[in-house]
Amino acid sequence: MYQADEKRYEEMKYNRCGASGLQLPAVSLGLWHNFGSNGNFDNMQDMCHTAFDHGITHFDLANNYGPVPGSAEENFGRILAKGLGRYRDELIITTKAGYDMWEGPYGNWGSKKYLVASLDQSLKRMGLDYVDIYYHHRPDPETPLEETARALDGIVRSGKALYVGISNYNKEQTIEIAKLFKEMGTPFIINQRKYSMFDRTIETDGLKDYASKNGIGIITFCPLAQGLLTDRYLHGIPQDSRIRTDGRFLKENAITEETLAKINALNEIAKKRGESLAQMALAWILRDNDITSVLIGASRPSQILDNIGMLANMTFTQEEREKIDRITK
């Protein structure tokens, strides 16, 4: 039976999630990749144990994570049942609904029918009574926002989620749904958005500043730009890279001479800081204390350990900030 490391809380930093009472680890583990039906279960279990042993208490899922959709939740449920679940009160487990999940008109988007049914399915797959945060995964252009907000509010009141969150909502959409949540007294605490040195949309659309000033947490995904902000692409495209093996999310045309020059310039800054490019990229996201947590993905336990190594150096000089801005903006 799995026994967690007694020193698991000694090195991790925890940040308050907006104006709520909940704290999240600076680094959270996302189960988007490598936890599906095509993965190795022992490796999945080792990654979750490694994460928790080093203070990563937050495990982020969605109904459709796989492949096959639902398989990441099923595998995480098995990991919980085999020992990690004995620490349920020390875990933040989150899931989402909003993308294609099952056939027909009720397995997608943001209706009450879909959101309630999907969470029931997710809880069954993971063997849980509740999740800590339940997210609407993407805005629905057709369902009235009031219906989506009321569905999430009702889910919290039913005891199946403690808090609600949104994902992929821009600033204007966040303002609109936040107003509805405030009127209902819903514990809305977080927005999940893409953010990296190479994708600074939440700065330019104003969400980052708005959330900080209005007590809303932000958790970011794709912090390493699908692996571009690592040492993998310093000299071109490796044959075993994600571009070669799984071109769904990162295309070969993303690796231009200009991009390679930027990656190498950023790597020089990282070397002077005494860390890897990936570690610097993760620390950079948390540089201003207005991002609650950064989601990492991993294919093996050693990647998790490498990533949390960024906790050793999370401050940036003004000169470093300006150099990074010149390269990435």
Average the pLDDT over 212-237 and give the result: 91
167 vs 232, higher pLDDT? 167
Check whether the bond before 27 is cis (ω within 30° of 0): no
Ordered alpha helix ranges (H), the chain: 41-53, 71-81, 112-126, 145-157, 171-184, 201-204, 207-213, 242-245, 257-273, 277-285, 301-308, 318-328
Residue 239: band (very low, low, confident or very high) from pLDDT cuts 50, 70, 90: low
Over its C-alpha atoms, the chain yields an Rg (Å, rounded) of 19
Report the pLDDT averaged over residues 39-49. 98
Residue with tokens 């020193």: 7
Residue 42: what pLDDT? Answer: 98
Tell me the average pLDDT across 218-224: 97
Phi-psi region of 215 (alpha: psi -120 to 50; beta: other; left: phi over 0): left
Q: How far apart are the first and last CA of the chain?
A: 49
Residue 241 confidence (pLDDT): 59
Portion of the chain with pLDDT greater than 90, in percent: 90
Query: Class for domain 14-226+283-314, per CATH?
Result: alpha beta
Instruction: Look over the chain and give the mean of its residue pLDDT values, rounded to a whole number.
Output: 95
Q: What is the pLDDT of residue 206?
A: 97
Q: Residue 188: pLDDT above 80?
A: yes
Tens digit of pLDDT for each residue in 263-318?
Answer: 999 999 999 999 999 999 999 999 999 999 999 999 999 999 999 999 999 999 99
Please compute the mean of the pLDDT values over residues 192-209 and round it to a whole number: 97
Mean predicted confidence (pLDDT) in 53-61 = 98
Burial of 92 (0-12, 13-18, 19+ CB in 10 A): buried
Give the angle 31-233-254 at the CA atoms, nearest 5°.
80
Q: What pLDDT was estimated at residue 251?
A: 62
How far apart CA 328 and CA 322 sit, in angstroms, is: 10
pLDDT in tens, 105-118: 999 999 999 999 99
Whether the bond between 144 and the residue before it is cis, its omega within 30 degrees of 0, is no
Query: For residue 19, is pLDDT > 90?
Result: yes
60 vs 29: CA distance, rounded Å: 6
The model's pLDDT over 125-151, given as tens digits with 9 standing for 90+, comes to: 999 999 999 999 999 999 999 999 999
67-107 residue pLDDT tens? 999 999 999 999 999 999 999 999 999 999 999 999 999 99
Take residue 71 and report the two structure tokens written for it: 């398989």
Q: How confident is the model at residue 226 (pLDDT cuts 50, 70, 90)?
A: confident
Average pLDDT value for residue range 238-253 = 59
Q: Output the pTM of the full model.
A: 0.95
DSSP 37: T
